[in-house]
């Protein structure tokens, strides 16, 4: 038997033509009174108007969905039944409706717009003349989000909708659909989408600026950097930057220079006076609010005054994670914010200086960058800021991930006795050239052809199951060690390895030594054997005499 017609309903777009639709049922594999296997075929359909017992003059068309349309004439109320039958039976579905309550408006067309910097008014035409419509606009935001805006008035001849609260100089994509205002049944079809750009306006927000100060003879070299802060919007087609500077202490005239959008830094050669620098963005409509930075004066010995105290700050080691390098600092109530700067490429010049700013209630941050790689030491400076001035508070240094040392210490001196050997590697570096913080050293000792059992050492088993004695030096600046309790006249193999938080590399090379014969044993032999023998011989000769 055929399937029952599902989702059967009727509607009109123009109050003249009625269209009924329903889902096409599954194939019955029947044609007429015959039963056979074949490709699917459509079932016969007939329409009946029960108020007027006659066939509705329409032609059924089916693809994924079936439909049938006819001219309604002057009749408003309809009771329509669709019948689907084959030789095994028939199924029906009925829809009773008022045409005036089944309006499905056609899609709006010929959209055009009027725009300001924050508003867009969409206008359109529609085919449903004489029908009051309630319309809705769908707006695609630049971030991919979709917003819906409904009209507050019904439209007859001049439909429009105003979209407000938009960003200047930004593209929006909108489309419109409508529904009947008096008897809303369902939304009509969407219009074609239209992309509209709002007009330009004054830049909003401020630029984020920072500096790098290098003392030189007679003054300082100051490199000024700027970037667009998260809350900054250019609001224009093109952007340029104006940098202005003047001395703080006197009323000298300010100087300025402009840069195109491709620039994000400039360098000044200042004397030892304090300077005020401001940066503004210009988009051709107007300037943004200025971002201001005070370069402090230098002392008589040309050292810049930006530290909290006169003492030199020590670098504190910090640890990295898979997500970045964690930095924390002691908060101070007198500052209105904090700045952390670092170099993305510390071994290069320029080093690609980066910075991040934080509010007064923040005392830690996870610093991450796509440029961070394992085995490179990064240095971080933490500043407190107040009244456009920055003061260095703390220094941090760390790795995204520590790696084992690339090179082994080179043993430069070997001092050997019959029961001890002293090794030294004074020139081994522990600075930022290492792929990790050097935590200390391991000295490995083993006599040839024997298992090691030296006192004061730890047993260390190599991958080939051979055993070494391991001594640990936990001070990276202690580059000398004496291995004691050796046996005289023996062969030993030794190795010195540096280790970091990333471990150490496998032992590849050994140093071979031969401990000398113990001369004290010879002296003892003389005292205990030769001297008594000589005394006995003399005594024997005397007795014989």
DSSP 105-144: PPPPEEEEEEE-SS-EEEEEE-S-TT--EEEEEEEE-TTS
Question: Does the pLDDT of residue 69 top 60, yes or no?
Answer: yes
Asked if the bond preceding 5 is cis, omega within 30° of 0, the reply is no
Question: Does the pLDDT of residue 80 top 90, yes or no?
Answer: no
Residue 457 included in any domain: yes
Of 98, 125, 156, the domain-final residue: 98
Sheet holding 120-125, edge to edge: 109-115, 120-125, 160-163
Residue 380 included in any domain: yes
State mean pLDDT over 50-68: 73
| Lowest-confidence region among 118-132, 401-415, 465-479 | 118-132
Strand partners, 422: 415, 482
- Count of Cβ atoms closer than 10 Å to residue 357 Cβ: 16
For 327, half-sphere exposure in the C-beta direction (CA atoms, 13 angstrom radius) is 32
> 424 and 390 in one domain?
no
198 Rama sector, left if φ>0, alpha if ψ -120 to 50, beta otherwise: beta
> 191 and 212 in one domain?
no
pLDDT for residue 544 = 85
- CB contact at 8 A, 177 and 188: yes
Q: Name the more confident of 94 and 372.
A: 372
Of all residues in the chain, the percent with pLDDT exceeding 70 is 89
Q: Each residue of 174-233: pLDDT tens digit?
A: 999 999 888 888 999 999 999 999 999 999 999 999 999 999 998 999 999 999 999 999
Which residue is listed with tokens 């927000």? 205
> 370 and 340 in one domain?
yes
How many angstroms separate the CA atoms of 404 and 474, rounded? 16
State mean pLDDT over 240-262: 92
> 115 and 94 in one domain?
no
| Largest distance between two CA atoms of the chain | 170
Question: Strand locations in 50-201, DSSP E?
Answer: 54-55, 61-62, 65-71, 77-86, 89-98, 109-115, 120-125, 133-140, 146-150, 160-163, 171-180, 194-197
Q: Name the more confident of 500 and 86.
A: 500
Of 295, 328, 358, the domain-final residue: 295
Residue 57 phi/psi, 5-degree rounding, is: -75, 80
pLDDT for residue 304 = 45
Question: Does the pLDDT of residue 518 top 80, yes or no?
Answer: no
* C-alpha distances in Å from residue 69, one per residue of 56, 186, 432: 9, 19, 82
H/E stretch holding 523 reads: helix 519-525
> 116 and 88 in one domain?
no
Residue 333 included in any domain: yes
Nearest to 207 by CA among 277, 293, 285, 291: 291
> 459 and 491 in one domain?
yes
Burial code of 241-253, b = ≥16 C-beta within 10 A, e = fewer?
Answer: bbbebebeeeeee
Q: Are strands 315-318 and 389-399 parallel, antiparallel or unpaired?
A: parallel
> 211 and 193 in one domain?
no
Question: Does the pLDDT of residue 529 top 60, yes or no?
Answer: yes
pTM of the model: 0.73
Task: Report the sign of the C-alpha dihedral through residues 23, 28, 34, 38, in that order.
Answer: positive
pLDDT for residue 55 = 73
pLDDT for residue 250 = 82
> 279 and 221 in one domain?
yes
pLDDT for residue 24 = 80
For 150, the 3-state DSSP assignment is: strand
Residue 534 included in any domain: no
pLDDT-derived band at 365, boundaries 50, 70, 90: very high
Question: Does the pLDDT of residue 524 top 60, yes or no?
Answer: no
State mean pLDDT over 82-104: 85
How many angstroms separate the CA atoms of 430 and 153, rounded? 76
Q: Each residue of 288-328: pLDDT tens digit?
A: 999 999 999 987 554 444 444 445 789 999 989 889 999 99
- CB contact at 8 A, 409 and 428: yes
Domain that holds residue 183: 109-197
For 88, the 3-state DSSP assignment is: coil
pLDDT for residue 38 = 21
Which CATH number belongs to the domain containing residue 274 in this structure? Answer: 2.60.40.10
Q: Which two tokens stand for residue 277?
A: 């620098």
Contacts of 515 (CB under 8 A, 6+ apart): 416, 417, 418, 419, 421, 486, 487, 488, 489, 490, 492
Q: Are strands 17-23 and 6-12 parallel, antiparallel or unpaired?
A: antiparallel
Question: Does the pLDDT of residue 351 top 80, yes or no?
Answer: yes
pLDDT for residue 519 = 62
> 512 and 451 in one domain?
yes
> 165 and 183 in one domain?
yes
Q: Name the more confident of 161 and 48.
A: 161
Q: Residue 487: exposed, middle, or buried by beta-carbon count in 10 A (0-12, 13-18, 19+)?
A: middle
Question: Strand locations in 217-289, DSSP E?
Answer: 219-228, 240-247, 255-259, 265-270, 275-282
Mean pLDDT over the full length of the chain: 86
Of 262, 295, 328, the domain-final residue: 295
pLDDT-derived band at 52, boundaries 50, 70, 90: very low
pLDDT-derived band at 336, boundaries 50, 70, 90: very high
Cα dihedral 231→236→242→248 (10° resolution): -40
pLDDT for residue 309 = 44
> 186 and 131 in one domain?
yes
How many angstroms separate the CA atoms of 268 and 387, rounded? 22
Q: Each residue of 15-35: pLDDT tens digit?
A: 888 999 988 877 777 765 222
Residue 530 included in any domain: no
H/E stretch holding 520 reads: helix 519-525
Question: Does the pLDDT of residue 525 top 70, yes or no?
Answer: no
Q: Which two tokens stand for residue 90?
A: 């028939």
Residue 524 included in any domain: no
H/E stretch holding 47 reads: strand 45-49
Which DSSP string do the residues of 399-431 spell out, in sequence order?
ESS----SSPPP--EEEE-SS-EEEE-TT---S
State mean pLDDT over 349-356: 93
pLDDT for residue 35 = 26
pLDDT-derived band at 382, boundaries 50, 70, 90: very high
For 287, the 3-state DSSP assignment is: strand
> 288 and 321 in one domain?
no
Residue 437 included in any domain: yes
| Lowest-confidence region among 197-206, 310-319, 391-400, 499-508 | 310-319
Residue 300 included in any domain: no
Which residue is listed with tokens 């004691």? 484
- CB contact at 8 A, 141 and 191: no
Question: Does the pLDDT of residue 68 top 50, yes or no?
Answer: yes
Q: Each residue of 254-279: pLDDT tens digit?
A: 999 999 999 999 999 999 999 999 99
State mean pLDDT over 448-463: 79
pLDDT-derived band at 436, boundaries 50, 70, 90: very high
* C-alpha distances in Å from residue 275, one per residue of 340, 344, 392, 426: 22, 27, 18, 46
* C-alpha distances in Å from residue 429, one per residue of 164, 315, 346: 64, 17, 18
Q: Name the more confident of 486 and 289.
A: 289
Domain total in the chain: 5
């Amino acid at each position: 038997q055929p399937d029952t017609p599902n989702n059967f309903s009727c509607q009109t777009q123009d109050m003249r033509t009625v269209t009924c639709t329903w889902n096409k049922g599954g194939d019955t594999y029947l044609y007429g009174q015959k039963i056979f296997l074949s490709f699917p075929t459509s079932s016969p359909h007939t329409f009946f108007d029960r108020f007027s017992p006659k066939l509705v003059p329409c032609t059924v068309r089916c693809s994924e969905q079936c439909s049938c349309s006819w001219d309604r004439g002057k009749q408003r109320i309809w009771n329509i039944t669709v019948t689907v039958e084959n030789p095994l039976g028939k199924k029906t579905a009925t829809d009773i409706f008022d045409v005036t309550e089944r309006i499905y408006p056609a899609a709006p067309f010929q959209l055009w717009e009027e725009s300001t910097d924050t508003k867009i008014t969409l206008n359109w035409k529609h085919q449903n003349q004489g029908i009051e419509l309630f319309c809705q606009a769908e707006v695609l935001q630049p971030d991919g989000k979709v917003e819906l805006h409904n009209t507050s008035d019904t439209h007859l001849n001049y439909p429009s909708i105003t979209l407000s609260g938009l960003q200047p100089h930004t593209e929006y994509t909108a489309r419109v659909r409508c529904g009947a205002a008096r008897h809303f049944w369902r939304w009509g079809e969407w219009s074609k989408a239209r992309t509209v750009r709002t007009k330009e306006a004054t830049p909003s927000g401020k630029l984020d600026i920072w500096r790098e100060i290098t003392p030189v003879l007679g003054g300082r070299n100051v490199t000024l950097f700027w970037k667009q802060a998260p809350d900054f919007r250019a609001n224009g087609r093109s952007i340029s930057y104006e940098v202005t500077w003047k001395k703080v202490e006197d009323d000298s005239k300010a100087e300025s220079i402009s840069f195109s959008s491709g620039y994000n830094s400039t360098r000044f050669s200042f004397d030892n006076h304090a300077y005020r620098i401001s940066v503004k963005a210009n988009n051709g409509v107007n300037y943004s609010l200025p971002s201001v930075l005070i370069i402090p004066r230098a002392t008589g010995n040309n050292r810049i005054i930006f530290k909290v105290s006169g003492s030199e700050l020590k670098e504190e080691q910090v640890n990295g994670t898979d997500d970045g390098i964690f930095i924390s600092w002691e908060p101070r109530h007198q500052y209105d914010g904090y700045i952390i700067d670092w170099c993305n490429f510390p071994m290069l010049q320029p080093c690609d200086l980066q910075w991040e700013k934080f509010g007064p209630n923040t005392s830690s941050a996870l610093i991450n960058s796509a440029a961070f790689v394992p085995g490179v030491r990064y240095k971080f400076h933490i500043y407190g800021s107040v009244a456009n001035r920055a003061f260095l508070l703390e220094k941090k240094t760390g790795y995204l991930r520590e790696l084992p040392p690339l090179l082994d210490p080179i043993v430069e001196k070997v001092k050997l006795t019959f029961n001890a050997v002293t090794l030294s590697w004074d020139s081994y570096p522990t600075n930022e050239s290492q792929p990790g913080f050097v935590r200390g050293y391991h000295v490995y000792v083993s006599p040839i052809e024997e298992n090691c059992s030296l006192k004061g050492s730890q047993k260390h088993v190599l991958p080939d199951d051979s055993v070494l004695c391991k001594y640990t030096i936990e001070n990276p600046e202690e580059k000398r060690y004496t291995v004691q309790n050796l046996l005289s006249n023996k062969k030993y193999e030794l190795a010195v390895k540096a280790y970091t938080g990333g471990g150490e590399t496998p032992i590849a090379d050994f140093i071979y030594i031969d401990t000398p014969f113990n001369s004290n044993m010879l002296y003892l032999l003389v005292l205990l054997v030769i001297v008594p023998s000589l005394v006995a011989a003399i005594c024997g000769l005397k007795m014989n005499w």
